[in-house]
């Protein structure tokens, strides 16, 4: 079975780029936890494990991971982008509370289907999608009254 590490190596080699310890460590950390993350959190986690990858390398590597399809930009909030790894994981969408910012993940077959149909209608080659449903969570709903 092909791991994300294999997939990334393959991607790099195909582009004539090098496999470096920094790139591998960043990749490993991105896949170490199954949560949304932002650049700051990622750097913090790397530091805590004694990895020295610089901020610049993290940004540069993240761009490669997105380009390779291993990672997706999920949403932009609080002035910066949030990411999640997607390789080897079933796709899911997000339900977001506009007040407390809680995020609930959910899966939805209807969207996958719509994705294919709509792609076909416009002759697009579809690679993925991003769906967010916005509203107020049970707690915040209650508090609004």
Partner DNA sequence: GTGTCTGCAAACAGTTTGCACTTCT
Partner DNA sequence: AGAAGTGCAAACTGTTTGCAGACAC
> Which stretches of the chain bind DNA, using CB under 7 A?
12, 16-23, 38-40, 52-57, 59-61, 63, 78-81
Among the listed residues 54, 88, 132, 143, the single contact to a second copy using CB under 8 A? 132
User: How would you class 95 by CB atoms within 10 Å of its CB: exposed for 0-12, middle for 13-18, buried for 19 or more?
Assistant: middle
Q: In which residue are the tokens 């339900």 written? A: 95
- DSSP notation for 8-75: HHHHHHHTT----HHHHHHHHHHHHS-S-EEHHHHHHHHHHTT----HHHHHHHHHHHHHHTSEEEEE
Among the listed residues 2, 48, 138, 145, the single contact to a second copy using CB under 8 A? 138
Output the furthest CA–CA distance in the chain (Å, rounded): 59
Written as six digits, the tokens of 78 are 């609080």
Q: Which of the residues 59 through 78 are near a second copy (CB under 8 A)?
A: 75-76
Q: Which of the residues 5 through 24 are near a second copy (CB under 8 A)?
A: none
Among the listed residues 24, 36, 39, 136, the single contact to a second copy using CB under 8 A? 136
Q: Which of the residues 76 through 95 are near a second copy (CB under 8 A)?
A: 76, 81, 95
Among the listed residues 47, 63, 108, 143, the single contact to a second copy using CB under 8 A? 108
21 binds, among DNA, a second copy, none (CB under 5 to 8 A by kind): DNA
């Amino acid at each position: 079975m092909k791991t994300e590490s294999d997939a990334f190596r393959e991607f790099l080699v195909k582009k004539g780029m090098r496999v470096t310890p920094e790139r591998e460590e960043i990749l490993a950390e991105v896949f170490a936890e199954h949560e949304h993350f932002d650049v700051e959190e990622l750097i913090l986690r790397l530091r805590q494990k004694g990895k020295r990858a610089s901020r610049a390398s993290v940004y540069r590597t993240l761009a490669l991971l997105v380009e390779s399809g291993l990672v997706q930009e999920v949403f932009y909030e609080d002035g910066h982008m949030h990411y999640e790894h997607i390789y080897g994981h079933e796709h899911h969408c997000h339900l977001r509370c506009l007040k407390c910012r809680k995020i609930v993940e959910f899966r939805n077959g209807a969207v996958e289907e719509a994705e294919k149909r709509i792609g076909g209608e416009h002759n697009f080659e579809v690679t993925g999608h991003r769906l967010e449903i916005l509203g107020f969570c049970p707690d915040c709903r209650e508090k609004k009254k």
